[in-house]
Amino acid sequence: MAFYYRNTEESSLNDLLLQDCTVLQAHDDQVDFLSHRDILVHEGKIEALEPTGEISPGQCKELVEARGQLAMPGFINCHAHVPMVIFRGLAEDVNLEDWFNEYMWPLESNLQPEDVYWGMLLGLAEMIEAGVTSVADHYFHMDRAAQAVAEAGTRAALGWAVFGSGGLDGLEATARFAERYQGAANGRITTWLAPHAPYTCDQTFLKETAGWAERLGLGVHIHAAETAEQTQVSLEKHGKTPIQQLEAAGILDHPCIVAHACGATDDDIRILAKHGTGVAHAPKTYLKLAMGTAPILAMRQAGVPVGLASDGAVSNNTLDLFESMRLMAMTQKQQTKSAESMNLGQTLTIATRESATVYGLGDELGHLAPGRDADLILVNTDGLHMQPPHNLAANLVYSARASDVDSVMVAGRWLMRARKLLTLNKAEIVEQVGQSMRRLAQRVPQKRIQLYQP
Amino acid sequence: MAFYYRNTEESSLNDLLLQDCTVLQAHDDQVDFLSHRDILVHEGKIEALEPTGEISPGQCKELVEARGQLAMPGFINCHAHVPMVIFRGLAEDVNLEDWFNEYMWPLESNLQPEDVYWGMLLGLAEMIEAGVTSVADHYFHMDRAAQAVAEAGTRAALGWAVFGSGGLDGLEATARFAERYQGAANGRITTWLAPHAPYTCDQTFLKETAGWAERLGLGVHIHAAETAEQTQVSLEKHGKTPIQQLEAAGILDHPCIVAHACGATDDDIRILAKHGTGVAHAPKTYLKLAMGTAPILAMRQAGVPVGLASDGAVSNNTLDLFESMRLMAMTQKQQTKSAESMNLGQTLTIATRESATVYGLGDELGHLAPGRDADLILVNTDGLHMQPPHNLAANLVYSARASDVDSVMVAGRWLMRARKLLTLNKAEIVEQVGQSMRRLAQRVPQKRIQLYQP
């Protein structure tokens, strides 16, 4: 594979021509592979996508020969807690209540802003290696997360997580973060309000959140109806499902990412559809924590957009959306008892354009076409596990691995080439995270940031 | 990592000393990681396993520095149809009946012995890259599969698949294959009888199979109770479950691998336990074909050994047992609605020693200890997706990927070092399989090797 720079700095030149790749395009639950295509990238955008040879390479600073490689939109992770990678492996084989009360929330009382910075860098590096170019992240100390995103060169939709117990001042502080960081890192950072969940944020708090959304023109990223049990308890306590609570508080009048919704009822699905609310789907977490799964086929049929997600690495263990994509398809087949469900076209549409919609940038990301942002990955398709190439879509969904990602570009800039990270120092990140391991793993009885009691 | 040969050919020397690795040992549903260990390999066996420094390197022809790497038994694939990789991707999003009748069995009418040879090589190469050192394979033209195994250097337990419709002569021919190839490839090949399933082989045929097993001292590798529906239909037609049919025919009086058993009843589990019959478990196939899953926790509690399996690549898409291991654990949690089910110790015990038991070599494989066969893999644990190393067992089960396998040894011989295959020519295999793609993908209406009608 040739890879060279021309000796010119003229800014009027186009930036880069990717030559002779196969381009994945998914739309309306169909998937196409356009072979022998060139992609012209200029000032962070896709300027042209044409059959190989039709774009003159004379105008480009960089020519990249990508013959035999698959070009596809970078994966968009619609719900994560990226810095939680620092706790990876610390809460295994435990039920959901213990996961929160005995592990995760005690562990998070160890968090320092510095941990979020290094954890974010570790998670972003892991995601770049796996072809994930954007992440909707929901965590703490998000100014430090934003710093990491700026350095890594990825995109991120950041929300500073807040509990009702932190009071309305806490909410205001996170709203001010969102206001301040909207459009940071040359526009690669967008921001969302991030109340934790209806069971940790009461109606007053949620209404205040909707008020901030209104005043600042922000969306809301929130967990809701994580399990059927949460829905049941919510009905008993409040006479409303968690989704109905969000609607009643006015949250759904704004752009909204609802994480999980495994406990969504038919009425909830109608509500989500009515408001155009997106649902982030993290199937590995649901399997590992025995949560059932979300009725995403019914949601999509009702018009609810669904996006892929990893959730945090303490439940999901990786931030790998190849894995999420595959598990989404397979668990839907199992759930509906039909191997014909969630076919390749549906799966790849969700993994690309629909995830972009949920992420809030449906017109900019998730599809390789002129005018869109140049966030793309090159995937090697010549691995033995993808041979012979009878069916590229099937190979991508059911055989490909994160390690097949060769190169990653965000906004026209390479973040990885030939599996070498170009913006981040892996050894330094691993060393820094390793130094905090012992401190981070401590759990003090009764010391936790919150109590899970839906 | 140092890697060199000493200039000596004295056969009295020990062969190889693996220095300073971490050794995984699983037993009784517990897992230990022994750090800083040296492993001495001599004439295909593990001669010693001691703390680093306690074995003198002076006696060894080859010293291998493995600091920071995890040494574990090579994965044992307890049920596959390896050459089916040549059809990978040709039967997607279809229900089980169509999978058999409209895809797999029509496609297999295209099979030539040469296809089995090249398909076996492709699948073995894929498995070596994924750390799989042994495979119980159930397919056709198995003399050509045996040739591929001999060349690849792996272990295999080969059974020539046969249907009742092929008559008793067909059965005899496959029994003669088993007799002829038992112990081939310096003992790396073992052989089994391989009737397809109770729904394609009637009681007379199964009894004859048991007769051959008795006369030749062979075990039987067979599909049974693949789904709950098959069990139901069998009860209606024959008054017996598929497992009861196997017992009645005398099959279970011999060593036996039952593939799948998703439709096993409580009584079936008692029968399997009574006979010490092993069950091969291929969870990705069950998800993809919406088959439910097997009650392997109940089976193990009753004393039935369970082994990991990939099944064929037309349902499983890969031959990757990292994936099977992870899916086994997660689908059991989901099935039992308990995140505490199928914990890391259980999962890794199944993936190592218990798979060896099902494979028929419980005393030789699946555990790194003196006197056992030197079938081992070195896994890199420094990938970002496995950082920080709070919990190596969790990282192995939930984060590791086939691409983390660095080196693979079978019977003391390296088959892969630093991800380079040493016995097989990847380019040639890919080219040969690629040349047959078009011919293999043809389907002629009504032309199939068998009809699925359980």
User: Where are chain A's structural domains?
Assistant: 3-73+368-421, 75-359
pLDDT at B149 over 90: yes
Query: Residue A385 and residue B320: Cβ atoms within 8 Å?
Result: yes
B126/A340 touch (CB, cutoff 8 Å), yes or no: no
Show the beta-strand stretches assigned E in A197-255: 219-224
Please report, for residues A224, B79, B151, B261, the alpha-carbon distance to residue B319 in angstroms, rounded to integers and kept in the order given. 37, 10, 19, 20
By C-alpha distance, which of B38, B27, B131 is closest to B76? Answer: B131
The topology under which CATH files domain B75-359 is TIM Barrel (3.20.20)
3-state secondary structure of B119: helix
Sort out which chain A residues have CB atoms less than 8 A from B124's CB and list them. Answer: none
CATH label, A3-73+368-421, candidates 3.40.50.11270, 2.60.40.10, 2.40.30.60, 2.30.40.10: 2.30.40.10
pTM above 0.90, yes or no: yes
Give me the mean pLDDT over the B385-408 stretch: 98
Whether B295 has a pLDDT exceeding 50, the answer reads: yes
Q: With beta carbons less than 8 A apart as the criterion, state whether B376 and B368 touch.
A: yes
Mean pLDDT of chain A: 95
* Residues A399, B317: C-beta atoms closer than 8 Å: yes
- Which chain B residue's Cα is nearest to A394? B89
Q: Give the chain A residue whose CA is nearest to the CA of B333.
A: A290
User: Side chain identity at A311, as an amino acid letter?
Assistant: D
Contact B42, B60 (CB under 8 A): no
Nearest to A384 among B129, B288, B338 (CB): B129
Closest CB to B399: pick one of A317, A340, A401.
Answer: A317
Report the C-alpha gap between B114 and B364 in whole angstroms. 32
Judged by CB atoms closer than 8 Å, whether chains meet at A126 and B384 is answered as yes
Dihedral of CA A392/A397/A403/A409: which sign? positive
Could you give the CA distance from residue A179 to residue A185 in angstroms, rounded to a whole number?
14
Q: What is the DSSP string of A358-404?
A: HHT-TTTSSS-STTSB--EEEEE--SGGG-S-S-HHHIIIII--GGG
Distance of CA A348 to the CA centre of its chain: 15
Q: What is the average pLDDT across B178-206?
A: 98
> What is the C-alpha separation between A438 and A442, in angstroms, rounded?
7
Helices A426-441 + A113-129 axis angle, to 10: 130
**Nearest by Cα to A338 from B292, B226, B334:** B292
Q: Which of A29, A31, A287, A310 to mutate to test the interface with B (most CBs of B within 10 A)?
A: A287
Contacts A441 to B, Cβ<8 Å: 390
- Please name the member of A95, A317, A402 whose beta carbon is closest to the beta carbon of B339: A95
Position A9 scores a pLDDT of 41
Q: What confidence tens digit (pLDDT) does each residue in B23-37 have?
A: 999 989 999 999 999
Angle separating helix axes A142-152 and A113-129, nearest 10 degrees: 40
d(CA B294, CA B341): 14
State the nearest Cα–Cα gap between B84 and chain A, in angstroms. Answer: 11
Distance CA B334, CA A283 (A): 11
Mean pLDDT of the residues in chain B: 95
Amino acid at A431: E
What is the pLDDT averaged over residues B372-390?
Answer: 98
Dihedral (CA of A234, A240, A245, A249) sign: negative
Arithmetic mean of pLDDT, B198-204: 97
CA distance A27 to A73: 13
Strands (E), B171-294: 189-195, 219-224, 256-260, 278-281
Q: Which residues of A touch B336 (CB under 8 A)?
A: 290
Please judge whether A437 and B382 are an interchain contact, meaning their C-beta atoms are less than 8 angstroms apart. Answer: no
pLDDT interval class at B13 (50, 70, 90):
low
For the stretch B103-146, pLDDT in tens is: 999 999 999 999 999 999 999 999 999 999 999 999 999 999 99
Pairing type for strands B60-65 and B14-27 reads parallel
What residue of B is the nearest CA neighbor of A129?
A: B384
CB A142 within 8 A of CB A158: yes
Name the residue among A89, A384, A441 with its Cβ closest to that of B394.
A89
Q: How far apart are CA B319 and CA A387, in angstroms?
A: 12
C-alpha R_g of chain A: 21
The pLDDT value recorded for residue B75 is 99
Phi then psi for A439, rounded to 5 degrees?
-60, -40
CA angle B23, B25, B29 (to 5 degrees): 150
Is the ipTM value over 0.90, yes or no? yes
Residues B330-350 have pLDDT tens digits of 999 999 999 999 999 999 999
Assigned CATH class of B3-73+375-418:
mainly beta
The pLDDT score that the predictor gives to residue B60 is: 86
pLDDT tops 80 at residue B366? yes
Considering only CB atoms, A338 lies closest to which of B95, B317, B387, namely: B95
Among the residues of B12-109, which ranges form H helices? 96-98, 105-107
Give residue for tokens 């929130």: A222
3 state SS of A411: coil
Structure tokens at B308: 């990991």
| Chain A contact set for B438 (CB, 8 A) | none
User: What does DSSP assign to residue B172?
Assistant: H
What confidence score (pLDDT) does residue B3 get?
A: 36
Q: Residue B250: what residue type?
A: G
Neighbour-count burial of B400, counting CB atoms closer than 10 A to its CB (0-12 exposed, 13-18 middle, 19+ buried): buried
CB contacts, 8 Å: B95 with chain A: 338-340
Minimal C-alpha gap between B236 and chain A (Å): 22
B14-27 and B69-73 strand pairing: parallel
Contact yes or no for B262/B225 (Cβ under 8 A): yes
| pLDDT tens for each residue of A427-437 | 999 999 999 99
Task: Kindly give the parts of chain A with pLDDT less than 50.
Answer: 1-12
**Helical H segments across B264-398, by residue range:** 266-275, 283-288, 296-302, 321-336, 344-349, 355-359, 392-394
**pLDDT given at position A45:** 96
